[in-house]
Amino acid sequence: MEEGYCLRAGVGTGIGPENCAVQRGRSSLTAEVSETVGTGLAAYYEYVAADLHKWVDPLSNDQFWRKPYPYGNTVGHLVLHVTGNLNYYIGARVAKTGYVRDRDREFTEKQPPHKDEALQAFDRTIAMVVATIQKQRAEDWGKAYTADREPEAEDRFQIFVRCAGHAYHHVGQIVYLSRELART
């Protein structure tokens, strides 16, 4: 039999090498999968950022903060929201940045920053997310995760995926709003 080890074998288990699949190379496979996951997630966050910029960059500061309808959000408030979401769920809870979130303010900021400042903060946040992803080792993806208002994500992998989906959901709203603002 090839040299290796059995995950289930142990003293008193009755499982010997003759009844066990060889697990040789498992740690290198785990590292390879971890690298693939990290590379893919980092690339996706960078794609989300590029797509957001594609729709937001052409807007004036006035358009960035104007609602095209009497209801809903401005593009600017959605950018603040995505920035706050990522800074809290990934920055504060995984990267331990110390970020303190004021979620309500993301939607109600009465004296919002200039569009350029809001986008710079968003870009810094995406860079932090990508750097945090790149620091994850194979064993980190499955580490327990908890956060306020996020009972579904039980581990780090889940929060990175959920935050990516959340960010792109709001990019979809930004695409719609940007098209409407361009018509006015």
pLDDT number for residue 30 = 85
169 inside domain: yes
Question: Residue 143 is part of a domain; what is its CATH number?
Answer: 1.20.120.450
Distance in angstroms (rounded) separating the CA atoms of residues 11 and 34: 31
Range of the domain at 37: 33-183
- Domain count across the chain: 1
6 inside domain: no
Distance in angstroms (rounded) separating the CA atoms of residues 92 and 83: 12
79 touches 52 (CB < 8 A): yes
pLDDT number for residue 26 = 53
13 inside domain: no
20 inside domain: no
Q: Above pLDDT 90, what percent of the chain?
A: 80
pLDDT number for residue 27 = 67
Res. 170 pLDDT band, cuts 50 70 90: very high
Q: Report pLDDT digits (tens) over 87-100.
A: 999 999 999 999 99
More confident residue, 18 or 57: 57
φ, ψ of residue 144 in degrees (nearest 5): -55, 145
Distance in angstroms (rounded) separating the CA atoms of residues 121 and 124: 5
139 inside domain: yes
Which of 18-27, 50-59, 120-129, 170-179 is least confident?
18-27
145 inside domain: yes
28 inside domain: no
User: Which letter does DSSP use for residue 7 in this model?
Assistant: S
Amino acid at 19: N
Q: Report pLDDT digits (tens) over 14-28.
A: 544 454 444 445 567
pTM score, whole prediction: 0.84
pLDDT number for residue 29 = 73
- Provide the mean pLDDT of the chain: 89
Distance in angstroms (rounded) separating the CA atoms of residues 96 and 160: 15
Q: Above pLDDT 70, what percent of the chain?
A: 85
Q: What is the mean pLDDT of residues 121-128?
A: 99
42 touches 161 (CB < 8 A): no
141 inside domain: yes
More confident residue, 56 or 24: 56
Q: Report pLDDT digits (tens) over 130-162.
A: 999 999 999 999 999 999 999 999 999 999 999
